[in-house]
Structure 1
């Protein structure tokens, strides 16, 4: 009775192959950022960078009036 160990994957062989795969993945991850081109920045333009809060708007005035901020001013 002889045991054929050529077709059998033991723990040591599995770990050896797994470490080889991990090494290849680490090298690929280290090389790939070097191949990335420069990113283009998004320019939002003047419409999106302007002020959005308008204190004289009707909804803003109603918010402060309904939450009692006008009564706090009197104190």
Structure 2
């Protein structure tokens, strides 16, 4: 009976070792992928976009603020 129990313990140990090694490998690949990424392009805003109205406090927005007590 002790041999069967010992085999089960070894199987569990091997599984946990493989799980840990797989997690470490996945983390390494994820970090390497982030480091190798190109920088994001910045959005360029034209003069017309800068003058354009963006936020308008309409009746719908006021009702939302009133309902949620902002």
> What is the TM-score with the length of structure 1 in the denominator?
0.50
Cα RMSD of the aligned pairs, angstroms, is 2.9
Structure 2's unaligned 5+ residue stretches are: 60-70
Could you say which structure has the greater relative contact order, defined with CA pairs below 8 angstroms and 6 or more residues apart? 1
Task: Give the aligned partner of residue 67 of structure 1.
Answer: none
SS at match of 1:41: coil
Shift of 1:50: 1.2
Q: Which has the larger radius of gyration?
A: 1
Q: Count residues in correspondence.
A: 50
User: Which one has a larger percent helix, Structure 1 or Structure 2?
Assistant: 2
> What is the TM-score with the length of structure 2 in the denominator?
0.53
Task: Give the aligned partner of residue 21 of structure 2.
Answer: 20
Consecutive aligned runs of 4 or more in structure 1 exceeding 4 Å deviation: none
Structure 1's unaligned 5+ residue stretches are: 54-59, 64-75
